[in-house]
Amino acid sequence: MSHSNKDDNKLEVLPDEKHLLLDHDYDGIQELNHPLPNWWNVIFYISVFFGFGYFIYYQIMSGPTLRDEFKNDYAKVVAAQDEFKKLNSAFKEEKYLAVANDDGIKKGAEVFVNNCLPCHAEGGKGDIGPNLTDAHWLVAKGTPETIYNVVFNGSEANGMPPWNEVLSSEEIYHSVAYVMSLKNTNVKGGKEPQGEKVEN
């Protein structure tokens, strides 16, 4: 039976690695201590110092909590919504006239299908919401301005949400142009008249 020489398992150390050889020996097993690259050490220590500072700032000092950050972000959203309402709540006839054409009505139909169909049904004949194709009106008076106001601000009493929080100003004007194109078309199978009859 042959026996292996213990020296056969001894770590081969190159001349330029001798300074890396650790002084312990486990059953003939030796190891070299190769240092980590400098760039790795720099990133590691920066991360440690950053983490320490982060903990001090957010846990001990006055760093904002997630709730505080949410409140700040939410306040900005509310402020932006209020600014939008302030700038667009009033009906502007020139903006309406610019979209009161075939192309604008077509775009308004797309807005209507994507947002208004559940309540006003296909073609505006009415379902939960009133029929938009007859001469009767619950809140609006059949004019672009009054229709715009209802779409923009909604009508809580009639279950109409304010669409200014969902639609852009352009989309609202397009939808108004489309609703105006439905007026007095009296679509077959439409919901029974509701509200006041308006002749205009």
Q: Classify domain 86-197 by CATH architecture.
A: Orthogonal Bundle (1.10)
3-state SS, residue 84: helix
So what's the pLDDT on residue 4?
Answer: 41
Q: Quick one: pLDDT at residue 40?
A: 95
Instruction: List where CATH 1.10.760.10 sits in the chain.
Output: 86-197
- C-alpha distance from residue 19 to each of 11, 13, 70, 160 (Å): 14, 10, 56, 81
pLDDT averaged over 10-residue windows placed end to end, the chain, 200 residues? 48 74 77 87 96 92 89 90 78 94 96 95 94 93 93 91 91 96 93 88
For residues 148 and 20, give the distance between their C-alpha atoms in angstroms, rounded to a whole number: 81
Q: In the prediction, which pLDDT does 82 show? A: 81
Q: Which amino acid appears at position 143 of this protein?
A: T
3-state class of 189 per DSSP?
coil
- Joined together, the tokens standing for residue 30 give 């030796």
Q: Is the pTM of this model over 0.75?
A: no
How far apart are alpha carbons 163 and 169 in whole angstroms? 10
